[in-house]
A and B are shown apart, each in its own frame.
Chain A
């Protein structure tokens, strides 16, 4: 049965793209979660909704306009946070609602919700083309290489910004780089789970992995494994059961998290819990 499913071209593309996106989201998400930016992915995804609506309205491939709007929003919000006394969670709320507001207005101008809009909202991994797959693989490779090259600077500035700055690390530039990478990752991942569920891929595998992992490297490997397993099992299961892949992927990662919490509460795990709270300003 599994082999038969894997013989379909659309399924092969879905699985290859899904694995790449899972790796990307889990690695980038680990930095976001540890910086208490958990909802940042969600906010960028919602702002990209405005970009997608604009693309559909003016007849440009919606993901290109989504990339542009998301990156711009991410950079603006980072600048605003640095310049004005606005907390991270408030900035995320502003970005999130303004993206949706712009998107809704543009959609109403263009004549209402269409099938295209729904595919961006809820994901359409089974519909990815060969070109999409190549783009996803290229962006994943490029971002993972950047992360590997700047590994020490990224981990140090995530651990303690002040000390990283004293060690000569250009912390502000690193902060901009992280939101830039997060912006690209979010839009690249929209095809897998859609705008509404994107933050699940950033947050859930990492919250689970942090409960198990002792070192940063181990946590990143565990998080990637949880994310890849959720995506592959989710895609296959959704096809067999004829249900939506996005929801299935997210529910599987939630099941892994719930199992971890269960093991922990039964005293079968010796790791401390990790609560995701808004970053204190």
Chain B
């Protein structure tokens, strides 16, 4: 059963087209890895899906309903951004940050449960700004999970995080998908991790040039090569500009 349907999604910025006629759907309990070079439109796609950008053409449906008509779907979504922006010295403990994601009337015990799930309970009374990047990302995944979401959306969540924390993060994601049946939509540059974790792959470079089962993508050398070359070119171009 489709939980997300995207039809003919186009986003035009003054500087150019960020997404061009994208259509795909995501089934319940899918683990979708969205890959694409820098500037491929992954974050733009997420901002449209999360109703942070409504300046698009086309249609996005969550649970069969157009998101322009109903925002109730947001209650079923957990979102982990690439690098959460917050005041470094914001006086909030890990527990207080996770509690922000708790739905009205929910059991407070849920906060302790998710802190245990993501292996961060020992840090629950530390100030959020004192934690490492990897620990902070686990706090943000806990905050996303505390509201019992049906879908978890993660935008390159391990950027700038050390290898050990990244592996722990990936194992948590795998468990959430397999043991708790949470649908995961995850953008990443890490092809090996996508190959290991995702059952579906969407390959994006402003247009969608592949969407299907992961084995099909990774079993097709031409597709992987095409992606790697496009990614490398964009990477070089990005560095030349900066």
Centre residue among B81, B86, B90, B104 by max chain A CB count within 10 A? B90
**0/1 interface trace, chain A 205-216, chain B, CB 8 Å (1 if under):** 000011001111
Centre residue among A36, A166, A215, A216 by max chain B CB count within 10 A? A166
Residues of A within 8 A of B91 (CB): 34, 209-210, 213-216, 218-219
Residue B238 lies at the interface, judged by CB distance under 8 Å to chain A? no
Residues of A within 8 A of B51 (CB): 165-166
Residue A273 lies at the interface, judged by CB distance under 8 Å to chain B? yes
**0/1 interface trace, chain A 200-239, chain B, CB 8 Å (1 if under):** 0000000001100111111100000000000000000000
Number of B residues whose C-beta is below 8 Å from A?
A: 34
Q: Do A166 and B79 form a contact, CB below 8 Å, given A160-B86, A214-B127, A272-B129? A: yes
Centre residue among B85, B91, B129 by max chain A CB count within 10 A? B91
Name the residue on B nearest A219 (C-beta): B91
Within 8 A of A (CB), among B71-88: 71, 74-75, 77, 79, 81, 84-88
Within 8 A of A (CB), among B91-113: 91-93, 95-97, 99-102, 104
Residue A156 lies at the interface, judged by CB distance under 8 Å to chain B? yes
Residue A167 lies at the interface, judged by CB distance under 8 Å to chain B? yes
Residue contact A274 to B71, C-beta cutoff 8 Å: no
In the complex, A156 Cα to B100 Cα: how many Å? 6
In the complex, A215 Cα to B89 Cα: how many Å? 11
In the complex, A159 Cα to B143 Cα: how many Å? 13
Residue B33 lies at the interface, judged by CB distance under 8 Å to chain A? no
Main secondary structure of the interface of A (DSSP, over half): helix
Name the residue on A nearest B95 (C-beta): A215
Residue A112 lies at the interface, judged by CB distance under 8 Å to chain B? no
Q: How far is the CB of B132 from chain A (nearest CB, A)?
A: 15
Within 8 A of A (CB), among B174-226: none
Q: How far is the CB of A240 from chain B (nearest CB, A)?
A: 35
Q: Do A167 and B89 form a contact, CB below 8 Å, given A156-B100, A159-B97, A214-B127? A: no
Residues of A within 8 A of B90 (CB): 34, 159
Q: How far is the CB of A199 from chain B (nearest CB, A)?
A: 19
Residue A267 lies at the interface, judged by CB distance under 8 Å to chain B? no
In the complex, A272 Cα to B102 Cα: how many Å? 28
> CB within 8 A of B89: which of A152, A163, A210?
A210
Residues of B within 8 A of A117 (CB): none
In the complex, A213 Cα to B129 Cα: how many Å? 13
In the complex, A34 Cα to B86 Cα: how many Å? 10
Residue contact A168 to B52, C-beta cutoff 8 Å: no
Residues of A within 8 A of B101 (CB): 167
Q: Do A162 and B92 form a contact, CB below 8 Å, given A167-B101, A168-B71? A: no
Residues of B within 8 A of A155 (CB): 92, 96, 100
> CB within 8 A of B74: which of A167, A210, A272?
A167
In the complex, A209 Cα to B126 Cα: how many Å? 16
In the complex, A272 Cα to B127 Cα: how many Å? 10
Residue contact B84 to A160, C-beta cutoff 8 Å: yes
> CB within 8 A of B96: which of A164, A210, A215, A272?
A215
**0/1 interface trace, chain A 150-182, chain B, CB 8 Å (1 if under):** 001001100110111111100000000000000
Given A152-B100, A167-B74, A219-B91, 7 new contacts (CB under 8 A) = A155-B96, A159-B92, A164-B100, A166-B50, A166-B74, A167-B147, A168-B75
Contacts from A to B (Cβ < 8 Å): 34, 36, 152, 155-156, 159-160, 162-168, 209-210, 213-219, 272-274
